[in-house]
Structure 1
Amino acid sequence: YKPFYINYKTTEQTLIHLIEAINDSDLFTVDAESICIPKKPNEPALIQLQIIQKNLFSYVIFVEVRHLPNMHERTFILIQELFVALFNSNKNIYIWGSIDELKKFLNFNLFSSSQIYLSNNINLQDEFKIFWKQHHPHKPKLSSTNDNIL
């Protein structure tokens, strides 16, 4: 895999390359992270995006939302275009939890609330719960008095 950090230092060429990689792929993982602030709600900080290419090589993108370029700069517009390319009906996005987790990032103006629902979002946490219950069914434990019988 190859990591990319998206922030105010990211070049236009890098962003164009990543948009092209997103356009050429249909499989992604997304996760979001927040920073802890004592005695306050957590603040959104990072969007992690993995582009899984057909040859199974991956780009891992870290969008540092606290260090983005000015909204009027060309690079900011390209970051928005990156998310337009990602949140598309022919894209499959695996996420641990709900895509609603990204709503905390709306005030950064990278994407809209309706945009995040355009892709085929697969909640891996829900899938894992189903898998776990199927492979590890709950078995009630017999009381210790019954354990001693025969």
Structure 2
Amino acid sequence: MFVRPIDAWTEVWLGNPSTALWALIAVDAWKWVGFHMVVCLAALHSLPGEVIEAAELDNCGWWSKLFFIKVPMIKGTLINLLILAFIGKMKVFDLVWIVTKGGPLWSTETLGTYTYKRAFQWDSFDLGYPSAIAVLSFALVMIVVIVTTVLTRSKNKLEY
């Protein structure tokens, strides 16, 4: 029997507990890659041309220009994108809820879907526990953002 190569990939990606989370991660990454790319391109195009020309006059290679000149100059933009991505991943709800509602077998359950189920779908009428989850997740996000900002703060600011 003739088996086409694409048939090896035919699987219920969202129905299998071992692949559902990876499928959602791939979809979410694909959803946000354009935004991150546009912001990085805008940051790269805002760099001063004199610095790049000076590196080219010094016979600096493409990789050296990228890692030793361009990336340090857009470090603030990259850190802001990292913080935005972390906040976005902590509050992801819509994609998970629409696609899997936390299933199969709770393999794609997130903090947002669990809080929503606990508050509005279970018949417990106990809103204290979901409220505590929301407050603690907010505190966790704030702590991570503040620590990241303090640790990555530059002592000597680049002036260009």
Q: Same fold (TM over 0.5)?
A: no
Q: Greater share of strand residues, 1 or 2?
A: 1
Question: TM-score, normalized by length of structure 2?
Answer: 0.24
Q: Which has the larger radius of gyration?
A: 2
Structure in which a larger fraction of residues adopt helix:
2
Normalised by the size of structure 1, how large is the TM-score?
A: 0.25
